[in-house]
Amino acid sequence: KQEVTQIPAALSVPEGENLVLNCSFTDSAIYNLQWFRQDPGKGLTSLLLIQSSQREQTSGRLNASLDKSSGRSTLYIAASQPGDSATYLCAVLMNTGFQKLVFGTGTRLLVSP
Amino acid sequence: EAQVTQNPRYLITVTGKKLTVTCSQNMNHEYMSWYRQDPGLGLRQIYYSMNVEVTDKGDVPEGYKVSRKEKRNFPLILESPSPNQTSLYFCASSFGTSSYYEQYFGPGTRLTVT
């Protein structure tokens, strides 16, 4: 059974710092890995999607890497801003023939001015 | 604007009173699914639908029903809600089952069953 773990559970940093969020998964038979952002009272917003054959994806100040063989992904946020404060979730898409995302429990990020 | 909508956004109800949470998407997506989110457990899939009239169970289907009579709508039905169904519910949709398709999520429905 796939298990997805995110460390740390919470993180507090001052504005401007570069930071790394970690995600690990136990079963490497995945189609892709997605990073989401969740804001209180709002839904999930997809940030980056990495196919299983890819090593990384970039969008603006965000860079996500994937090492499928070791079951790890990292989300790098450059020059953090208070607006980055949210909960970040990683999810892996299992190759079960239909779209089943298995989520981690998230990292709650607070960026202080 | 492309979006997934859910109604209601907040609901407090009592044990045993049937309720329906609606989900609608305007992107002509084939695939839709329901998740629940609980502290310490993350999001878990309840049901999914690959297309109209095609639905199947996810990881935690007990106590829930779904139907997919139209492509855009995928309601979640709780026939006899119980307190352990108190949770935050999300509907999601995507174009299809390919790994290249992102899933789009609705804003969530916070349900409390007393």
**Which pLDDT tens digit goes with each residue over A6-52?**
999 999 999 999 999 999 999 998 989 999 999 987 789 999 999 99
Residue with tokens 């407090």, as numbered in its chain: B12
| Mean pLDDT score of chain B | 93
Picking from A112, A113, A108, the residue whose alpha carbon sits closest to that of residue A87 is: A108
pLDDT at residue A43, as a whole number? 83
pLDDT at residue B97, as a whole number? 66
Chain A contact probe: residue of B68, B87, B105 with most A CBs at under 10 A: B105
Candidate from A52, A97, A100 with C-beta closest to B58: A100
Helix, strand, coil shares of chain A, percent, nearest 5, are 5, 60, 35
Candidate from A43, A44, A99 with C-beta closest to B48: A99
3-state secondary structure of A4: strand
Residue with tokens 């006899």, as numbered in its chain: B80
Residue B101 neighbours by CB under 8 Å, 6+ apart: A99, B31, B94, B95
Q: Which residues pair with A87 in a beta bridge?
A: A38, A108
pLDDT of B52 strictly over 80 = yes
Residue-wise pLDDT tens digits, B78-113: 999 999 999 999 999 988 766 667 889 999 999 999
What is the share, in percent, of chain B residues with pLDDT greater than 90?
Answer: 82
pLDDT at residue B39, as a whole number? 87
Mean pLDDT of A64-76: 96
What's the maximum distance between 2 C-alpha atoms anywhere in chain A? 45
pLDDT at residue A98, as a whole number? 66
pLDDT at residue A99, as a whole number? 67
CB A21 within 8 A of CB A88: yes
Any CB–CB contact under 8 A between A43 and chain B? yes
Nearest CA in chain A to B108: A43
What does each C-alpha distance from B39 to A9, A104, A108, B102 come to in angstroms? 12, 11, 12, 24
Size of interface A-B (CB pairs under 8 A): 63
Model confidence at B2, in pLDDT bands (50, 70, 90)?
confident
